[in-house]
Amino acid sequence: MPDNVLEIRDLVVEYHTDDAHIYAVNGVSLNVKKGETIGLVGETGAGKTTIAKSILRILQSPPAKICSGSIMFDGADLMKLSEKEMQHIRGNKIAMIFQDPMTALNPIETVGFQIEEAIRLHNKISRVEAVRRACEMLEMVGIPAERYKEYPHQFSGGMKQRVVIAMALACKPMLLLADEPTTALDVTIQAQVLEMMNDLKTKLNTSVILITHDLGVVANMCDSVAVVYAGEIVEYGTAEDIFDRTAHPYTVGLFNSLPRLNTTERRLKPIKGLMLDPTIKPPGCRFSDRCPEATEKCCKQPPPDVEVSPGHIVKCWLRGGSN
């Protein structure tokens, strides 16, 4: 569709090692519209970060291998571009905020230089102009321009994360990949960083893929939500669909695992069992061994994508799937 900035179709990613064959991403399809924030939600190891790194083509190979699928961005299939062409896209049209701000910055370079370097790499401008723009980016994320010449160790965790966000947004990318950008921060700083990201997204009209396991963050930030389990999107829809019309048993389990203030129950209801071993490729639904509603059919046949309401997709036999 013309209003999509990104279209992923049937993406399959595997990790091949001497000891195992890991099925990390299994036929993921996803659209991201211009100016939209979409959340990728799921347990650790579900494949969320692998999806994001596949978009930028920064998976370490070997062991990672993109087996099939297409990733259309700005009219081009990223899977077919050369490494040199991808270098013009990374940090320029697509940028990524990595999970840990403590390790995302070079400890022996000033924070200002690291932002300036990103700007000069993608723009034919003088160093004076690049420094001016780097200072503007620092100011935009709430850091005084006077701290341009300071080093990462002179900043707190929250301030480092602001610097990382400034680097990611320095070239005004069309798409921002945010990999759990607030995981390493305390709650009050989390709220500040998320509010700042929302403001910058609106100001720059940037599309965002937000990777998180925090449903509270999703509720505040996301227009659409994709629930990821064992390398598959098991439920997709607007934030209202996911929160108010929850359909997939796994998504129901995620919400039941959250503490609630409006109930008298004293114990949470965790999802029983562990996530599917990624070295196993079952014949049926990947969630069937943990699903309280699973039938024999669920264990033997892969479920189809069922549209339970316009735009609300669920991968489940129990929600209207048929042979």
Quote the pTM value: 0.89
What's the CA gap between 227 and 46, in Å, rounded?
10
Q: How confident is the model at residue 98 (pLDDT cuts 50, 70, 90)?
A: confident
Q: In 3-state terms, what secondary structure has residue 31?
A: strand
Q: How confident is the model at residue 186 (pLDDT cuts 50, 70, 90)?
A: confident
Q: In 3-state terms, what secondary structure has residue 319?
A: helix
Backbone angles phi, psi at 310, to 5 degrees: -55, 115
What's the CA gap between 307 and 309, in Å, rounded?
5
Do the strands 76-77 and 305-309 form a parallel or antiparallel pair, or are they unpaired?
unpaired
Q: Give which of 104, 85, 103 is closest to 93, Cα–Cα.
A: 85
Check pLDDT > 50 for residue 323: no
Check pLDDT > 70 for residue 2: no
What's the CA gap between 5 and 208, in Å, rounded?
10
Q: 288, 299 in Cβ contact below 8 A?
A: yes
> What mean pLDDT is predicted for residues 34-46?
91
Q: How confident is the model at residue 152 (pLDDT cuts 50, 70, 90)?
A: very high
Check pLDDT > 90 for residue 267: no
> What mean pLDDT is predicted for residues 45-53?
93
Looking at domain 4-93+171-319, its CATH superfamily turns out to be P-loop containing nucleotide triphosphate hydrolases (3.40.50.300)
For residue 166, give every residue at least 6 positions away whose Cβ sits within 8 Å of its Cβ, in sequence order, or none. Answer: 115, 134, 137, 138, 140, 141, 143
Check pLDDT > 60 for residue 312: yes
Contacts 24+ apart (CB under 8 A), 146-155: 147/111, 147/112, 148/110, 148/111, 148/112, 149/110, 149/112, 150/110, 150/111, 150/112, 151/107, 151/108, 151/109, 151/110, 151/111, 152/105, 152/106, 152/107, 152/111, 153/107, 155/111
Q: Quote the longest CA-to-CA distance of the chain.
A: 67
**Residue that is written with structure tokens 């064992």 in the block:** 230
Residue ranges of the chain assigned to CATH 3.40.50.300: 4-93+171-319
* Total residue length of the chain: 323
Give the burial string for 250-285 (b: 16+ CB within 10 Å, else e).
bbbbbeeeeeeeeeeeeeeeebeeebbebeeebebb
Task: Render pLDDT for 274-305 as a digit per residue (tens, 0 to 9).
Answer: 888 999 999 999 999 999 889 999 999 999 99
What does the CA dihedral 106, 98, 59, 233 come to, rounded to 10 degrees? Answer: 180
